[in-house]
Chain A
Amino acid sequence: MAWPLIIFWAFAGLAIASALCCITRVNPLASALWLVVTLFSLAALFVLLDAQFIAVLQVLVYAGAIMVLFLFVIMLLNLGRPGPTDLKGPLGVAVGVLLALVLLWQLGALRGVAPAEAIQLPPGAMARVAAEQGMVPAVARPLFDAYLVPFEITSILLLAAIVGAVVLAKRTL
């Protein structure tokens, strides 16, 4: 087996195992830290999939900023101490697992579907674009060109989120 494939499955297994731990740990603090492990392994998978810039963003934005926000709120609400489990009862767990398995089966049913050959790029096209233009320009050029309007709308979204968070977090709502 080729090395990239071995590394891929190692990090994929780590991501799935830590995601499993994330949804089963009783302590929210442990859940959050397992989620950080998942996010880091996903960043490794992004590198293997020729998306180095996205991998760096993943570590900076998700593992660095969003998860710190989560941990901050968990500690602010003092939820880190051991307490009773918040898992649903046996019936709830059975129904939840059943629904999840149905979803997985439905996703698995899409296995044979592939995008039309006509719109597919030749293998290695992403790596070649990155080698020609550099990793960041390859993503940044379409962002400021074809996707300029969504990019600007994102800034309005972030502004609205800032205002909303400040208003919601005020002592008297």
Chain B
Amino acid sequence: MLLGPALAVSAVLFTLGVAGVLLRRNAIVIFMCVELMLNAVNLTFVALAQRLGVAGQVFVFFVMAVAAAEAAVGLAIILAIYRHRQTVNLQNINLLKG
């Protein structure tokens, strides 16, 4: 069975996504790393659906819908920020910094 290897790959991919969010400053790249994390979780759902029923695949469907909504709104926010600040580097977007 591929359950164990799939969960291991999913853990590594999720960790890479977290590392990307922690290491980068470009808002769009950070956004892509969030998508990577969502995909890692999708792999977990699909792997466990083999043993725990088709509900896991249904949840992947919902995760994809949420990811699509998130991408549309998030990229619109990044566009709006770029229009105000002329940058997507998070170092220069420090309105909340004390």
Residues of A whose CB lies within 8 Å of any CB of B are: 4-5, 8-9, 12, 15-16, 19-20, 22-23, 28, 31-32, 35, 38-39, 42, 45-46, 48-51, 53-54, 57-58, 61-62, 65-66, 69-70, 73-74, 76-77, 79, 86-88, 92-93, 95-97, 99-101, 103-104, 107-108, 115, 119-121, 123, 125-126, 129, 138-139, 142-143, 146-147, 150, 154, 157-158, 160-162, 164-165, 168-169, 171, 173
Contact = CB atoms under 8 A, between A and B. Distances in A.
A23 B2 contact: no
A115 B46 contact: no
A165 to B, nearest CB: 4
A113 to B, nearest CB: 10
Interface in B35-81: 35-36, 39, 42-43, 46-55, 57-58, 60-62, 64-73, 75-80
B32 A22 contact: yes
Contacts of A95: 22
A108 to B, nearest CB: 7
13 contacts: A8-B5, A8-B6, A12-B5, A20-B16, A51-B49, A51-B57, A57-B60, A69-B72, A87-B24, A99-B18, A100-B22, A121-B51, A165-B75
Given A8-B5, A100-B18, A108 B11 contact: yes
Contacts of A103: 14-15, 18
Given A15-B13, A158-B68, A169-B79, A50 B50 contact: yes
Contact of A121 (B52, B62, B67): B52
Given A69-B71, A96-B23, A62 B39 contact: yes
A142 B26 contact: no
Nearest to B76: A168
Given A8-B5, A28-B28, A157-B66, A49 B79 contact: no
A139 to B, nearest CB: 5
Nearest to A150: B62
A161 to B, nearest CB: 3
A87 B15 contact: no
B12 interface: yes
B80 A100 contact: no
Given A4-B2, A86-B24, A54 B29 contact: no
Given A73-B79, A147-B58, A157 B50 contact: no
Given A70-B71, A161-B72, A173-B80, A8 B2 contact: yes
